[in-house]
Amino acid sequence: MLGFGARHALVAARRRLSSDCRTLVTARRQTSSAGYYDSQSGQFVSTKPTVRIFEHDASSSAGAGAVHVVAPVDACTGRVARVASAACVATAQRHGASAGRFDCSVADRGEASAIVKAAAEHGLACDVAFADAASDIDPIDAELIVAELCDLGVRTLLFKVSNDDVDDDDDLRELLSVCSGVDVPGTPVRRRLGLSAAEDVGVNQLVALAPDVYQFDASATGRGHPQTAALLAALDF
């Protein structure tokens, strides 16, 4: 595993060499049936991606502010508890959470790493959502924290999306492209990336913008995030 300094130098060099971060992508259904190439094993893995919808609905039975999982093709569903620190993970486990969720800035790498590590130690999945606007995130900083969290076993990494990001999508496309190129053990990074869109972002535009992304924030009522039913329809589930 590369040390921090070596990894930083590598990603900086990669960014300088990349003059165009836009890449051609296959249709969602083609990607689903094709799978991905595992560079560590040298094999092409045929698998369907997990679609995971994080449901934000204050009127839900689990209480205001809870995050639930609605996953049409994922058998591992359950309550995702919000955690503010690594010390909260054990409490979340005792209260029956299947995963912990930490919302933070890209700059909070140390705290995010501590929470993901604690979740792994307690046998919980961990999801991290970045509050920074895509245009404010340096791709190298994002790549470093994504690599570190994936090495520790993070399940999902969600990036904030606004109408500005959809209308002028260069920054978001670069961010997703750079992060998708990180080589980590286990599930490839591109299978872990997700989008946390504002409620006024069009779901069809959102899905078209990132056809290889299968993890999203949503709301049954359409408050704060796109409406769950509309998002699932756009995803063709």
| Alpha helix segments (H runs only) across 128-167 | 139-152, 163-167
> What does the domain layout of the chain look like in residue ranges?
50-234
Angle at CA 236, nearest 5°, toward 179 and 38?
35
- Find the helix or strand (DSSP H, E) in which 2 lies: none
Q: Is the pLDDT of residue 102 over 90?
A: yes
The identity of residue 123, as a single letter, is: G
Choose among 195, 200, 199: nearest CA to 235: 195
What pLDDT score was predicted for residue 69?
Answer: 58
d(CA 80, CA 181): 27
Is the whole model's pTM more than 0.95, yes or no? no
3-state class (DSSP) for residue 41: coil
| pLDDT tier at 108, thresholds 50, 70, 90 | very high
- DSSP-derived pairing of the beta strands 43-45 and 36-38: antiparallel
**Mean pLDDT, residues 99-103:** 91
Ramachandran assignment for 61, one of left (phi > 0), alpha (psi -120 to 50 degrees), beta (any other): alpha
Residues 6+ apart with CB under 8 A from 171: 134, 135, 137, 165
Higher-confidence residue of 109 and 45: namely 109
| pLDDT tier at 96, thresholds 50, 70, 90 | confident
**Mean pLDDT, residues 188-200:** 93
What pLDDT score was predicted for residue 141?
Answer: 94
What pLDDT score was predicted for residue 21?
Answer: 31
137, HSE (Cβ side, Cα atoms, 13 Å): 31
d(CA 98, CA 88): 14
Average pLDDT, the chain: 78
pLDDT one-digit tens code per residue, 204-214: 999 999 888 88
pLDDT one-digit tens code per residue, 6-48: 555 554 544 444 333 322 222 332 333 456 666 665 666 545 5
Q: How many Å separate Cα 84 from the centre of its chain?
A: 18
d(CA 126, CA 140): 22
Contact (Cβ atoms closer than 8 angstroms) between residue 222 and residue 187? no
**Mean pLDDT, residues 149-174:** 94
41, burial (CB in 10 Å: exposed 0-12, middle 13-18, buried 19+)? exposed
* The CATH number fitting domain 50-234, selected from 3.40.50.300, 3.30.70.890, 3.40.30.10, 3.20.20.70: 3.20.20.70
92, burial (CB in 10 Å: exposed 0-12, middle 13-18, buried 19+)? buried
